[in-house]
Structure 1
Amino acid sequence: MYPEDYEVKSKRVILQWIAEGFVKEESGKTLEEVAEVYLTELIRRSLVQVSSIRIDGKTKSCFVHDLIRMMIHEKCEELSFCKHFNEDGHSSLSGTLRRLSVTTNSSDFIARIENSHIRSLQLFTNKNLDESMVNRILKKHRTLKVLDFQDDSLIIDFKHFRSLVHLKYLSFKIRSEQHQNVLPKWIGLLLNLETLDLRASYYCSVIPKDISKLRKLRHLMGYKMCLSKWKDVIGCMESLQTLSAVKIGKGGIELIKELRKLRQLRKLNLFYARAEHFSALSSSLNEMRHLKKLSIVSGWGQDFVYDVIDLHLVSPPPMLRKLKLCGKLKKFPEWVPQLKNLVKFDLANSFLNDDPIKYLENMLNMLSLSIIYNAYEGESLHFHDGGCQNLKELYIGGLLNVNSIVIDKGALHSLKLFELFHIPNLKTVPSGIQHLEKLEVLHVPYELLA
């Protein structure tokens, strides 16, 4: 379904498989976890190639080798599994047509597919698509389950979406000239929708209350979405696993209280969190036992004023693997070292006076650490012997007062990548850097090497 040499994010593939019904339920696992096993098996058999991996070794993006792709195309044509229409227009669109991948801006194929019952449509043109072409597709093909316009800029007549009642996966990018910052209320009619991906539509940020009717929605992804009208309904969306990224802003306490009802949540990204929100947010986070990824940014306003992130987690999410805190901290959070499964930790604009390393160096599962952009206001960072034993990636930068970084022998035993940037008072490379025997990549400012 994807163009030649196209690298696709593994999550995108997985969510489309689920929407198509290719993934079968297994006891004790989510459909997403089962699909990840499927993808791993395809990689093991060399049918899919890995193009990038996450810090924990999981596949981030992948592609299909040209020879394998040719074989797949032949089999797809033979079984009428899917059709591919490219710039040359050579692909046959005859016979049964259920899935279509288009890599041309030409509208020649539309007349040839009007009598087909297409379940999946993906457009890969990297061009501004013709408005009449898109609207004609939406009007004619009401049996669609997967609709992916993620790589294409659109001007859309949204009224045609309301008839796509079978849709389970929807991803699109709105062109800036449309000035469509409010998602229309028709979204509430797509009762079977499981994934709504608005991340490429930066201008579509206001999400109507009507979306709460989508009780099957599992993944809602956007760019600083405003959910101000959700305060009394978001708790009804109990299937949600992904909620990213959401603006809280002024008066968001009731909304945050509702979040505690989302017991299946795996990923939560919050922006513009304020001091008055953190008591309610602490209570909600204590209820999220399946949460794996959490990002909180407290900055708000034109000058990005950072409020204090004051979370009191009596029982922090035990499955949390990735954590980002961007905002002031009065002291280092005592609950962070309790996160035994934490793999990646990003700390920014925290203005800590106490060296944060001493709180982190006994976290054995942590593989990536970023201490950046005013996260620390002290003068020295010290990695002690035996500390951060399994850390593979370390990023330190944007720290204006630091003049000394000390690495004891025996510290950072597994470090492979070390990046330093914009530390104006640091005049030499870190003391003890020669002890990093497994270091493969080192990025430091030129002046430190002069």
Structure 2
Amino acid sequence: MAYASLLSLAQTLEQILHPQDQSLNLHHTEQQIMRCLHEKVNFLVDFLDVISPKSSENIRDLEGRIRDAAYEAEDTIESNMSNQIVSELEQKYNGLQKVLQELASISEDLVKMKEWNDIEIVKPRNTYPSARSTNRSAVVGIRDEIECVVNKLTRSSSDLSIISVVGMPGLGKTTVARKVYKEPNIASHFDVCAWATVSQNYFEQEVLSRLLHSIRNLNHESNQESIEKLAENLYKSLKDKRYLIVLDDVWDKEIVLKVKNWLPHDCIGSRILLTNRHKNIASYVDPNCYVHQMRFLSDYESWSLLQHLVFGEERCPPELVKIGRMISRNCGGIPLPLILIGGVLYKAERTQSYWIYVEEHTNTGLSIEVLNLLSFVTFSYNQLPHHLRACFLYMGVLPEDYEIRRSKLIKLWVANRFIKPDRSKSLEEVAEDYLNDLVDRNLIMVRGWSYRGEVKTCCIHDILRDFCQTKTKEKFNSDVKNLPDVHDNLRQVSMLTELKNQIPKFDLANNRDLRVRSVTYYFHNSPHDILFVKSFQLLRILDALTIWFDKFPVEIVELETLRFIALTYWAKHRIPSSISKLRNLETLILNPGKLRSIFNTSFLPLEIWKMSRLRHLLFVRSFLPYPTDALNGGTFVSLENLQTLTNVINFRWTEEVIQMMPNLKKLVISYEHDGRTEWSSYCFDNFVHLLQLEVLKCFFLGKSYIKYQDPLPVNFAFPQKLRRLTLSGCRLSWKSMTVVGSLSKLEVLKLKYHAFEGPLWESNDGEFRRLKLLLIHMTDLEHWKVDETHFPSLERLSLQYCYDLAEIPSGIGKIPTLQKIELCECSTSVVTSAKFIEEEKTRFGNNGFQVVAL
């Protein structure tokens, strides 16, 4: 955390030395000490950037001193800044002088260690190779185990039965289960497949919700329902269907019994697949269950896996083979250490000296039975460059087996100031690089991929999470089960369990100086439980999406250091104008919960235009006032840092407004036509001036949600950087499609609810050169004329509720990149043409092509 604490302090100092708010000007003495601090901090950041990971052990004590000094300086500065009394910094002058002296002493010690060769300096290099982890994944050593489990699941027995995959941590139980779950034989054998990760600490509602989400693709808001209602919905979803239910990471036999009792027993060959560490869990529920014991990899399999993780399809250089075999043998036939060490070697220099160094540090001399997996995690962590360490350790804040969206994780890293600014990239882009690097090192697992091959959701292995929590327990993170244990050094607080009236035991009167910077709730608690955060005067992150508020908790606007807020509340009350007091706020996420109607609209105050540091505004439905006063010489400023704006209603995109949001990258908007307002007043043609826009979703609704409004005038114009476009309810003519087809970087196009209308669509040459995904949902299209040259990069075609379409053009089937066609409620002739394309693809050797009925 030394590096991260320095980065955070550097950004705080930068903000003070170059203030946007001129009322925060410093006196000469204060400016001098801030500049000296900034200089020392930047020196240490640059020094740590070039220290070899092999030197980590030698500077461990110095890292602790760096972290403590940086925390002390930033706490001192922000404590005074939050009170808006800058002159009081003089009262802390002596304290900051001591910090300066400490940083100077550390700098001298680092320079001496370098001169004495105790520290190895490495030349900075590109840490983000073009090859991605997905290209290095392989089923090595577990193919036979996958086939065995598939055979047991699909055998002829008609009774509901249980198959249990058992083994010690790190043997790959979940990997086998996931591979089985995605096997084509499983998809064709079972009518319904559902997955729920249970974990050590589980809630029955959450397990049911995850199963339903897996079946119906419902949002997690369904876990607000009672257990009885959720169980009833699960039963109805599975009745008279052959199903496969996967319960991953099961610790408690009772949950297996309960899930079995919730399911229909129709004697048609349904199955429950478990992964767990102990054999007796499944046998408690079903004495006749099949237990599949995971085996250890052989030396040959271990080396094969390690080679593939490091080199992919390339061959290992001959001079590294012998050392590599020794390294793989040190991993004891357990996949997890092999995966971790594979990540280390993949990112490191491929020299004999470094591989010998790795072999020496992985040779524990222990048997498989007592092999310490944490030692491999520790070694992998120590090989991380300093800029990645805090981002990795932050994963310990998450609940066990928790999948977090990439976009949210990146926003949290940025809000925590873990990301080093880069003049050529935004903080979010740099954070994306960090995430990809950690994925390449196999320290973060990807659970979902986007159509563009980007990480969509990710998580961390239980053993790695244990390491993160142990590593950061004193200074960084706490899984708060007993609030009186909160101590002065704590920086991150995670509410991983329900509080159950523990707040009254927590005496805040004597804890006004707590240095907590982040509070995150992962389970449902009372809105009153959140009020204790008022005592955390330096709080940066408040993630309380699991808590339901009747109104905006106005108390939090006094926490001026807040940078990230995520709340769930019934938005019948306006967001108070006092939110503009949060002058450091970067991300605001508001979720209305279950009620997603017109009666639950977030009304933003006009003062939102004063919050110049905002980067992301995410809502389900919101009204953003037009900044009239700002354009008439008011005290408003532009939202020049705003990158994300989602679900705003009926907003006018005048040139003046677009100039106030020049860096917008993602925009989700909707228009509800009242029959009186002219479409032209919304200035759709000005979209073309959003020069940084990459994602646009635009929805049009008529006065009635059933009857569509009049077609839009053809005055759309889109910026050339656009990569993803969703249009809904526009009722444009197919002849207007050339406006979309000419977008040179467009990769995803979704056309929903009569976005385009008319019986004929004739595609043109030279259009949609990069399009990978095309979705057409609910249209009156009858004939589609296209050949393979019109969509040369198309990988996936999805047709939904296209009742009038006669067939899928044969030219679509000739596109060499096409991998999948998805059909939902289409005509028989469309299904027939899709099957014909599948047969043709198979005949020409493309066995990976799929036609899927949604």
**Corresponding residue number in structure 2 for 1:345:** 749
CA deviation vs aligned residue, 1:95-151 (integer Å, no higher than 9, x gap): 5111111112214267558422211010010x2x223221233x2222211110123
Structure 1 contact 281–311 (Cα < 8 Å) conserved: no
**Corresponding residue number in structure 2 for 1:212:** 609
Structure 2 residues without counterparts, runs of 5 or longer: 1-396, 631-635
Structure 1 contact 100–120 (Cα < 8 Å) conserved: yes
**Corresponding residue number in structure 2 for 1:165:** 560
**Corresponding residue number in structure 1 for 2:542:** 147
Which of the residues 839, 847, 852 maps onto 1:434?
A: 839
Alpha carbons of 1:434 and 1:357: their partners in 2 closer, same or farther (altered >3 Å)?
Answer: farther
Bigger shift: residues 222-231 or 332-341: 222-231
Structure 1 contact 332–352 (Cα < 8 Å) conserved: no
Bigger shift: residues 233-242 or 293-302: 233-242
CA deviation vs aligned residue, 1:182-233 (integer Å, no higher than 9, x gap): 2222212111111111145553521111211111111111012112454554
**Corresponding residue number in structure 2 for 1:98:** 491
Point out the structure with the larger helix share: 2
Which of the residues 262, 266, 270 maps onto 2:661?
A: 262
Using the TM superposition, give the Cα deviation of residue 403 of structure 1 relative to its aligned residue in structure 2, in angstroms: 2.1
Alpha carbons of 1:346 and 1:83: their partners in 2 closer, same or farther (altered >3 Å)?
Answer: same
1:356-375 superposed matches below 5 A: 356=761, 358-359=763-764, 362-374=767-779
2:436 & 2:787 partners in 1: Cα distance? Answer: 38
Q: Secondary structure at the residue paired with 1:6?
A: coil
Structure 1 contact 170–197 (Cα < 8 Å) conserved: yes
Alpha carbons of 1:373 and 1:427: their partners in 2 closer, same or farther (altered >3 Å)?
Answer: closer
Structure 1 residues without counterparts, runs of 5 or longer: 446-450
1:278 & 1:130 partners in 2: Cα distance? Answer: 46
Point out the structure with the larger strand share: 1
Using the TM superposition, give the Cα deviation of residue 386 of structure 1 relative to its aligned residue in structure 2, in angstroms: 3.6
Structure 1 contact 18–32 (Cα < 8 Å) conserved: yes
Count residues in correspondence: 430
2:815 maps to 1:412: yes
Q: Report the RMSD for the aligned CA atoms in angstroms.
A: 2.8
Q: Secondary structure at the residue paired with 1:236?
A: coil
Structure 2 contact 745–770 (Cα < 8 Å) conserved: yes
Structure 2 contact 649–670 (Cα < 8 Å) conserved: yes
Structure 1 contact 220–244 (Cα < 8 Å) conserved: yes
TM norm structure 2: 0.47
Structure 2 contact 806–829 (Cα < 8 Å) conserved: yes
Alpha carbons of 1:218 and 1:83: their partners in 2 closer, same or farther (altered >3 Å)?
Answer: same
**Corresponding residue number in structure 2 for 1:31:** 427
Alpha carbons of 1:21 and 1:360: their partners in 2 closer, same or farther (altered >3 Å)?
Answer: farther
**Corresponding residue number in structure 2 for 1:393:** 796
Structure 2 contact 759–781 (Cα < 8 Å) conserved: yes
Aligned amino acid, residue 542 of structure 2: L
Alpha carbons of 1:162 and 1:384: their partners in 2 closer, same or farther (altered >3 Å)?
Answer: same
Structure 2 contact 788–812 (Cα < 8 Å) conserved: yes
2:837 & 2:849 partners in 1: Cα distance? Answer: 16
CA deviation vs aligned residue, 1:48-99 (integer Å, no higher than 9, x gap): 1001011000111100111111111110115x1211124xx59964451111
1:364 & 1:140 partners in 2: Cα distance? Answer: 55
Q: Secondary structure at the residue paired with 1:198?
A: strand
Structure 1 contact 247–270 (Cα < 8 Å) conserved: yes
1:359 & 1:29 partners in 2: Cα distance? Answer: 36
Aligned amino acid, residue 334 of structure 1: T
2:494 & 2:467 partners in 1: Cα distance? Answer: 16
Which of the residues 680, 689, 700 maps onto 1:287?
A: 689
2:765 & 2:543 partners in 1: Cα distance? Answer: 41
1:360 & 1:345 partners in 2: Cα distance? Answer: 17
2:599 maps to 1:197: no
Structure 2 contact 838–851 (Cα < 8 Å) conserved: no
**Corresponding residue number in structure 1 for 2:18:** none
1:157 & 1:312 partners in 2: Cα distance? Answer: 39
**Corresponding residue number in structure 1 for 2:578:** 186
Aligned amino acid, residue 577 of structure 2: K
2:560 & 2:726 partners in 1: Cα distance? Answer: 37
**Corresponding residue number in structure 2 for 1:108:** 502
Alpha carbons of 1:262 and 1:416: their partners in 2 closer, same or farther (altered >3 Å)?
Answer: same
1:18 & 1:360 partners in 2: Cα distance? Answer: 43
1:207-246 superposed matches below 5 A: 207-233=604-630, 236-246=638-648
2:519 maps to 1:121: yes
TM norm structure 1: 0.87
**Corresponding residue number in structure 2 for 1:45:** 441
Alpha carbons of 1:150 and 1:260: their partners in 2 closer, same or farther (altered >3 Å)?
Answer: same
Bigger shift: residues 269-278 or 339-348: 269-278
Using the TM superposition, give the Cα deviation of residue 317 of structure 1 relative to its aligned residue in structure 2, in angstroms: 1.3
Using the TM superposition, give the Cα deviation of residue 444 of structure 1 relative to its aligned residue in structure 2, in angstroms: 3.4
Larger radius of gyration: 2
1:371 & 1:442 partners in 2: Cα distance? Answer: 16
Alpha carbons of 1:119 and 1:433: their partners in 2 closer, same or farther (altered >3 Å)?
Answer: same
2:468 maps to 1:72: yes
Aligned amino acid, residue 333 of structure 1: M
Structure 1 contact 415–438 (Cα < 8 Å) conserved: no
1:409 & 1:297 partners in 2: Cα distance? Answer: 28
**Corresponding residue number in structure 1 for 2:415:** 19
Q: Secondary structure at the residue paired with 1:420?
A: strand
Aligned amino acid, residue 703 of structure 2: G
Aligned amino acid, residue 124 of structure 1: Y
2:673 maps to 1:271: no
Aligned amino acid, residue 493 of structure 2: L
CA deviation vs aligned residue, 1:160-187 (integer Å, no higher than 9, x gap): 122011110000111x4xx634222221
2:815 maps to 1:443: no
